[in-house]
Structure 1
Amino acid sequence: MSTRAICEAAGVQQPVLYRLFGDKDGLLAATIDHVWDQYLAGKRAAQKSKDPLSDLRAGWDSHTAFALANPNAYKLMFSPALRSEPEAAAEAMRLLREVLERLAVQGRLRVPLAEAARMVMAANTGVALALISRPSLYPDVHLSVLVRDAVYRAILLDIPEPEDIRENDVRKAAATTLLSSLDELTPEPFTAAESALLGQWLTQIAQSGPAD
């Protein structure tokens, strides 16, 4: 984008932009600071519950929700073109560490605190960027929940899962196994139409959720 286009959209002359922000990089830095402030406002206002795991889940989900609601601004927040890391990024990490520290006090962390914080932030940021940058490749926003739970199982001890989720995982694993070998069955017991129908059924089971 050009400073001329920015000034035209804002209805000001270019000298105003340079006087306020120095240059385009200064304007982008101020914009990113503003976006981070909006993001952190919700984090700062979040009320602690009695269960830090619930707070950790809520923090992940609010992060993804912010990215989906503000895709262009979110991309700026994590742009590799930034010359320096915004101070707000450090605050976001600090707020995440506070929740993880509560879990550590309860003896529920299986990895060091700093490592756990980096894993959560990297995974949360990565899946959010994937959802907003490549929606055709990642059309299901539920992917965020799947990644969240996988990461939490990796860093936390004894995360309980409802029985219906465990049973559903078994069904999905069986369906995925059959689906992967459907084309290799010898001799072929099904017609082409039957194989296509079976493949469709197995795909639906493999992609189903607990309530499906």
Structure 2
Amino acid sequence: MTETSSRRTDTRTRIVETAARLLQERGPAAVTTRAVAEAAGVQAPAIYRLFGDKDGLLEAVAEHTMATYVSAKAAVVAAASSGDVDPLEDLRDGWAGQIGFGLAHPALFHLMSDPARAAQSPALKAGREVLRARVRRLAETGRLRVSEERAAELIHAAGVGTVTALLTTPPADRDPGLADAMLESVLAQILTETTELKDDAWVAVTLRAAAPQLEVLSAAERSLLVEWLDRVIAANP
């Protein structure tokens, strides 16, 4: 990296971090090019050169903040996978962390809840992969009774809905047990009560989680097995 490129990167990082602080402390209305430029110690034209406009700057702020958070979550899941952490407890911890993050960063949450923005966000896509990794660990232990995709979507939707409901309620009126109750409701839909054999879908979901690691089969055989299992799962919603 040249000295010029390095300075440009440092300037961009300083601007993003400054804008993130203003967003957190004062909300989106405070993130003006003038306010950010003054706080970051740069000229306003630098922001336009680097981000195009205020929306471009907000996109960068959202990605930076979410990417940092998701990276930390991914490290936690990786550590849990290689240790003795119970998959269900790991999921509960992840849920609590996600709800807490949304409540602590309301402006960022509203930005990233925009469907158009969310569909294009690398950080949010990475976050969904972290959730899928947690769900897969449950499937591998035989505790999942719906497809991994459906379980992840239910958890994600419940999380977004919970944070939205809490943020639109005055803090003094919020139900402190809402988040836990919502998670338990979702878990009741996606988990088996025991790991005893239940039905075809339970068997398929459990084997589906292990199929990609069955090295005794060829890649083509694993692909075919996954196709068959997905068909069984789809037939037993």
Q: TM-score, normalised by structure 1?
A: 0.67
- 2:159 matches 1:129: no
Q: Which residue of 1 aligns with 2:143?
A: 108
Query: 1:6 Cα deviation (Å)?
Result: 4.1
Q: Which residue of 1 aligns with 2:101?
A: 66
Residue type at the aligned position of 2:59 = A
Structure 1 residue ranges, 4+ long, deviating more than 4 angstroms after superposition: 8-11
Q: TM-score, normalised by structure 2?
A: 0.60
Q: Which residue of 2 aligns with 1:16?
A: 46
Residue type at the aligned position of 1:131 = L
Structure of larger gyration radius: 1
Percent identity (aligned): 42
Kept in 1: contact 2:67–2:123 (CA 8 A): yes
Q: Extract unaligned runs of 5+ from structure 1.
A: 160-212
Q: Which residue of 2 aligns with 1:143?
A: 178
**Change beyond 3 A, Cα 1:113–1:142:** same
**Change beyond 3 A, Cα 1:79–1:6:** farther
Q: Which residue of 1 aligns with 2:153?
A: 118
The CA distance in 1 between the partners of 2:65 and 2:136, in whole Å, is: 27
Kept in 2: contact 1:7–1:14 (CA 8 A): yes
Q: Between Structure 1 and Structure 2, which shows a larger proportion of helix residues?
A: 2
The CA distance in 2 between the partners of 1:83 and 1:25, in whole Å, is: 14
Query: 1:86 Cα deviation (Å)?
Result: 0.5
- 2:188 matches 1:153: yes
The CA distance in 2 between the partners of 1:28 and 1:105, in whole Å, is: 39
Q: Which residue of 1 aligns with 2:92?
A: 57
Q: Extract unaligned runs of 5+ from structure 2.
A: 1-28, 195-237
The CA distance in 1 between the partners of 2:173 and 2:116, in whole Å, is: 24
Q: How many residues get paired?
A: 159
